[in-house]
Structure 1
């Protein structure tokens, strides 16, 4: 994801309030039994050697599916199906372009092009990648209230289509700047926080815990390096909803 020219933002600037029973992927760092290793990839990584990724200890992967309503990753099938083939728990993510179309429209596009969900124990809820605009105005020209409305539209439509609340991927700096530190989504959406300073903290307002932490742009695995805040049973529970 950091191919979208935001490494400097995260370096400089850089879950749920619901119960663990309701959202088992969200547990505090202090109570985490383990921290599982994973990755996220896009077309920048090309065809991934998933056997090597599995052998190197990955438990999960997020794969870019779509961007806006005019782009589908050309490597999505190889990455999404390949990670599943070797036994990883995997999910798809959508790169948001809130200045191009409504949240509802983009959620439908995402679901229609690989971002759906099935209760197979191996598929994570889709993730919404919302961050500084790599193509123009950093908050996409939207006011904070308009951005919150856009996010609500996407998340609500994704839930309507799949029965799951989308994971939100963001940075604390972006969330503060572009939503005014809105706390309402923490009730339902697991947090995937990007922070390269060695810790997930500080978290955006509303989330007291995180589910995923993207902690580096390179390392053992292709693409960005991630960890899950919990053990394998928790990860499977999150996949199962």
Structure 2
């Protein structure tokens, strides 16, 4: 790895342990970059966060923030907490994941949790990320799934960090935790950084949905549920057709079958229920009963071939000024439905360039059957009876009749 002397920018990383800091003194001592601790877990925000930020900016320093990761807390919850606490701040450096404890997790689990956190931070903030850890921890507790992210490495009293099996270069090198800088009482961490630590000001573009194909090759950071979401299906369905006994265990390079085509079918097996099959395919038993002319949803039999639907996946790329409810209205659905199929926890937080799944299928009309209600039909198609009443000019939603053709 590069040596200390090859670093381009002098930096420090700080937290409440440093107390009050004279940032003018630090700048006069040659400091150019300051990383400020923002959060830990989903419960602690550094009390000096805002004061440090304002003072660093007032002295013209380049600012980054780091989050101390706790492996016993949901990664997405931690990412949300981190991004919420730095919202509205001007940031020049990559957002850092500080991973130093495994909390009893094995390397595979811990590394996948780190990836989940990093992906969520990128999604929520639109900014690049970096992994901070120390050499021994990287050698024994992390896996190559993290190699796609740049490294900020800690290794003291050496001219260059020792090798590790994941990274062969660094963008940040913390070479001392007993350094002295003007304006700071006591010891502080000293760093050198390369250009790669800096943001270019352009949000990380979201990964577009893949083109229709018959197989998918797993990439670092993938989960079965995220792959299922890309293809408008469910992880249960992918696990079934790929004979995966443990849906949490997939690996980079693994080739998964993704069944595509104009018409999906499913052959009923012993023990199947219509609701269980519907769950596998991300639909409802009412919809399956409707398109298969099943009058009794409790009566299906082994060997029966069910039509599942079509695979034409609709997506929409968010534009500036869009709202989830506005997009839902354009496609005749609800914001709740879009939030659900896109795993959006905050419906008020979407961003330009984000690719949303709208739904599958080419169904645009529905013929009313005996016993149907407008609310029941709406539920089948993930919309509301109010919307169906409006687009079909129905003044009395309780009055529909068999044979009536409704726009969906």
- Aligned match for 1:196, one of 149, 153, 156: 156
Runs of 5+ consecutive residues of structure 1 not aligned to the other structure: 1-14, 16-27, 133-138
**Which residue number corresponds to residue 191 of structure 2?**
226
- Contact preservation (8 Å) 1:80, 1:91: no
**Which residue number corresponds to residue 46 of structure 1?**
19
- Contact preservation (8 Å) 1:35, 1:228: yes
**Which residue number corresponds to residue 18 of structure 1?**
none
Q: Tell me how far apart the structure 2 counterparts of residues 219 and 31 of structure 1 sit (CA, whole Å).
A: 16
Structure of higher RCO (CA pairs closer than 8 Å, 6+ residues apart): 1
**Which residue number corresponds to residue 123 of structure 1?**
92
Distance 1:41 1:31, change over 3 A: closer
Larger Rg: 2
1:37 aligns with 2:10: yes
Shift of 1:239: 5.1
SS at match of 1:39: strand
Q: Tell me how far apart the structure 1 counterparts of residues 68 and 80 of structure 2 sit (CA, whole Å).
A: 13
Q: CA RMSD in A?
A: 2.4
1:160 aligns with 2:120: no
Shift of 1:60: 0.3
**Which residue number corresponds to residue 186 of structure 1?**
147
Tell me the alpha carbon deviations over residues 48-78 of structure 1, each in whole angstroms, 9 at most, x when there is no partner: 1001001111010100010111101111111
- Aligned match for 1:209, one of 145, 155, 169: 169
Q: Tell me how far apart the structure 1 counterparts of residues 103 and 64 of structure 2 sit (CA, whole Å).
A: 26
- Contact preservation (8 Å) 2:133, 2:153: yes
Q: Tell me how far apart the structure 1 counterparts of residues 11 and 19 of structure 2 sit (CA, whole Å).
A: 17
- Contact preservation (8 Å) 1:93, 1:129: yes
- Contact preservation (8 Å) 1:170, 1:194: yes
Shift of 1:85: 1.2
- Contact preservation (8 Å) 1:96, 1:130: yes
Shift of 1:176: 2.3
Distance 1:53 1:111, change over 3 A: same
Richer in helix (by share): 1
Q: Tell me how far apart the structure 2 counterparts of residues 200 and 82 of structure 1 sit (CA, whole Å).
A: 32
- Aligned match for 2:80, one of 88, 104, 108: 108
SS at match of 1:52: helix
**Which residue number corresponds to residue 138 of structure 2?**
175
Tell me the alpha carbon deviations over residues 92-120 of structure 1, each in whole angstroms, 9 at most, x when there is no partner: 11011111x11111011100012x587x6
1:58 aligns with 2:31: yes
- Contact preservation (8 Å) 2:4, 2:192: no
Q: Tell me how far apart the structure 1 counterparts of residues 126 and 164 of structure 2 sit (CA, whole Å).
A: 25
Runs of 5+ consecutive residues of structure 2 not aligned to the other structure: 203-408
Aligned residues: 197
Tell me the alpha carbon deviations over residues 150-185 of structure 1, each in whole angstroms, 9 at most, x when there is no partner: 111101101111223321110121122222xx1232
- Contact preservation (8 Å) 1:117, 1:124: no
1:240 aligns with 2:201: yes
**Which residue number corresponds to residue 104 of structure 2?**
141
